[in-house]
Amino acid sequence: MKNSYSYLTDGRPDSEMFDFNDSDLVFSDNLDEVTSDRFELYAIHVLCYQGECGFQMAGQTFRIKEGDFVIWTHGKLVSDIVVSDDFRATILYISYRFSRKNIPNNNYDIIGNLSLINNPIMPLTEKEKVICDNDLSQIKWRMEDPSHHFYYELLSCLVTALILDLYDIHARIYEENPVSEQNAILLRRFVELLGTGQYKTNREVAYYASRLHVTPKYLSEVCKKV
């Protein structure tokens, strides 16, 4: 039976009520369900400890190795997953619903989302491997104690810490570029369109540009900047 936790703080509107289900955060030690319907509305986080894994995404071939952190924002975009016999990893599925409530209040999630569609693999330094392993371990450990009076808030803080660490790693690798507020709003709306699953039938930039009321050239240029 799934647990559901809701907390209402005095003076807080109902729309901001905390609500958590066990299915919002799911751990695994294999990639068997990455492309399944069960996790269609999840972001998938993979920390590779050992071995290798090859996969296809957006017409490109990628290879995960020891010390890589992978974020698949849309599991349905991934195909042809092949792992080595010694592959070992921790996989955390985070529902979009939970992510939306816990994404830090800045524009970096848009920058990260778009760049991860182009390349979802982030090679980690030794220090970053320890940080990410600790973040994941803390979330998994604290999930095992739902009796905590502030269970949702606790998990929210731990997931937010993981996300901020991943932002920091991504910025270190790709050197964060400044994005204007106007373009950040445009990128957020673009990602929201992708999140509805429209990418399955519409892959032309012109289609999304028309929905966003900008030219295909402008949308392409903004995306390239990140």
CATH number of the domain at 137, please: 2.60.120.280
Average pLDDT, integer, range 140-166 = 94
CA distance 93 to 23: 9
Count of domains in the chain? 2
Do 170 and 187 fall into the same domain? no
Give residue 4's pLDDT. Answer: 41
Q: Last residue of some domain: 174, 201, 217? A: 174
- Please choose, from the candidates 77, 157, 171, 83, the residue with its C-alpha nearest in 3D space to the C-alpha of residue 122: 171
Edge-to-edge order in the sheet of strand 68-72? 25-28, 88-95, 42-50, 68-72, 121-123
169 and 187 part of one domain:
no
- At position 49, the amino acid (one-letter code) is Y
Distances (CA, A) of 225 to 20, 59, 60, 166: 36, 21, 21, 20
Paired strand residues for 6: 19
Spatial strand order in the sheet of 52-57:
60-65, 52-57, 78-83
Query: Helix, strand, or coil here: 118?
Result: helix
How do residues 169-225 score in pLDDT, each as one tens digit? 988 887 755 566 677 778 778 877 876 777 667 778 888 888 889 888 888 777 766
What is the rounded average pLDDT of the residues 94-121? Answer: 80
Same domain, 81 and 114: yes
Q: Structural domain of residue 151, as residue ranges?
A: 22-174
Percent of the chain with pLDDT over 70: 84
Q: pLDDT tens digits, residue range 47-96?
A: 999 999 999 997 889 999 999 999 998 898 899 999 999 999 999 999 99
Q: Are residues 49 and 159 in the same domain?
A: yes
- The reply to whether 115 and 204 lie within a common domain is no
Q: Residue 11's pLDDT band (boundaries 50, 70, 90)? A: very low
Phi, psi of 50 (to 5 degrees): -160, 150
Considering the domain architecture, whether residues 193 and 159 belong to the same structural domain is answered as no
Radius of gyration of the chain (CA): 18
What is the reported pLDDT for 5?
Answer: 37
